[in-house]
Every structure is written in C-alpha cells, then in structure tokens.
Amino acid sequence: MDKTLDVTNLFPGTQVYKWTIEKKIAQGDFNFIYMCNGSSNMSNYKQFALKCESAQSPLQMLKVEAFVLQTIAKRGSRHFCDIEDIGKFQGIHYIVMHMIGRALVDYMKTSMSGAISVNCALSVGIQLIEALEDLHNCGFIHRDLKPSNICFGRKDRNELGKLYLLSFGISRRYLDSKNQMRKPRDNVEFRGTVRYASLNCHQLQELNRKDDLESAFYVIVEMITGQLPWKGLPDGAAVARVKQQSRHPSAIALFLRAPCPMEELREVMILIDSYNYFTAPDYVNICNILRRAMRRSPQPEHPYDWEQGGTNSLGDV
C-alpha cells in the first residue's frame, strides 16, 4: 500500500514527486502552501510554491483551481501564476506554481490606518479589474475576491508591483460548452466572504461577472479608507443592510469618505450596480474612470507604498 503524506504537516526535505519541501508558508481551511525546490522545464528558477490538499478532502477545491489555471494559461494572461506541475502523489493533490510576493492584506494590516495611499490603491484597482477581465474572458467568475487573494510579484523575478489574482477553489464557469451563458439557477448557496460579497450574493442569487466587480469595488474603497462601514457587524443580514444603505445619498459620504475620489468612485459604483446577470461589463471604462481619478490626485502612482521609496514599513520581497 502506498504511503500517504500528511498534507497538514509536510516536513522540510519531504519529497512530493520531484519537488522537495522547504517550509510551510500559508494555509487555508482545506489546503496548504509550501515553499519547495526542484528543476523546472519552463524556467531557470529553483524555488516554487506547492499548493496541496488531501485527496480525501470533501470539497476537492484544488481540482477546480487547477482547471481554471490551465484554461487561463492556454489563452495567456496578465495577472495569473504560471503552473510548473499538477499531479497526485501519495494521497495528496498538488499544484506547483512560481513564487510570488506578499498579499495585499499584509500591506493593509501594517499600515497605521489600514489604508494605502490613494493613487497606489487606484493603480492596484486597475490591475484587479484587468485580472477579472482576463478571468471572465476565459469563462469563469471568481466568487471570493478579497485582499488575501491578491498578491504581488517578487523583486527577484523583476515583477515588482505586478498584481496576481489567486485562489480559484470556488470559482464557477458561467459559460457552457458552447460558450453560451448558463441560465441562472433558482436556488444557490452563499459563496464567498461576507465583507466583500455582492448584494446578489447576500440575496442568494446566481452570481456572475458584475458580482466580482462589486467585490473588487469594495476592496478598492477599503484600500483607500482603511475600513468599510459594515466591518464588525454581527451577521450577514446586517452587513447586507448597510451595503444597501451605503448607496443612498445620505450615506454615501460615509461609505466613500475622504480621501476617496468620491465623484469617480460613485460613477464606478453606479455603473457596476446597473449591470445584470447577462451584462458584459465595460472593463475599459471602469479602468479609465479610475485613471481619471488618479490624474486629479497630486500623489505619484509609483512607487507603491511597500516598494523602495514608498511609505509602508513592511517592504517588498
């Protein structure tokens, strides 16, 4: 009988096929990420990230993630990790990807206010919209957009400031085998993270491209203000009420409070709210609105706060 590896605790030196584990670097509810080394057929780098889950895991989220990344890789993309290897070995499923840097949430947490500078946030937001455009053009929606699923490139790969979108375990294909829109289901469960979930998600409606964009909008506002108005509320119903109220003229000044460029962000919010399940979003227009807001700010776009010369003490990697 083949030996079964303990996916929760792969010790340094453990072999997963041809990859040698160095250390654990992150973990989620069902999957774990390790730094590993090995020889690549596609690059000269020796260190990689190995994401794995037990082959007995009830959700099998890594299979979905592998399928999404493979599909994206065939089309080429701007903001997704390169896959080095995918397989099953001694009771675990794994994906090996190139190493990336820290998550957006790490930089937000080390800021005194929880916020980052306006033009840095808007620039990150533009990259995030680009990433969603690429994902959507491949026929998938993300369904769990949040700062911990957004990372940046590494200095040693000459990718400083480049955004990477991660974690596709609960992504869903919204196109059928003929590349036609799938009909929305009548009954769906909540998917995602309450703080960044769209109003449709709270209402248990079928999600589509507009819902990813709404989540991205909440991330952009949180980057600038440091805190969304519904943070800390006791349950999803209360969060949904405040999200809905934040659209009203009497509440929008609190939602999009200074230093938000309120005119442009309100324009983006109204545009996203106008979309329905079948709408093809105007990603270029959204990015252009964010760029217009950047031009009105005296702050430079680069360096990002955490890059050399920036204002965040955590620094890049």
**CA pair distance 140, 237, nearest whole angstrom:** 27
Q: Is the peptide bond before 303 cis (omega within 30 degrees of 0)?
A: yes
Helix (H) or strand (E) holding 224: helix 209-225
* Cα distances (angstroms) measured from residue 198 to each of 10, 35, 41, 48, 78: 37, 34, 41, 34, 25
Which residue among 134, 144, 211, 305 is the active-site one? 144
**CA pair distance 3, 264, nearest whole angstrom:** 57
C-alpha 305, offset from chain centre = 19
Residues 106 and 314: beta-carbon distance below 8 Å: yes
316 counts as catalytic: no
Q: Which amino acid is at 153?
A: G
Residues 99 and 47: beta-carbon distance below 8 Å: yes
Q: Which residues are identified as catalytic?
A: 144
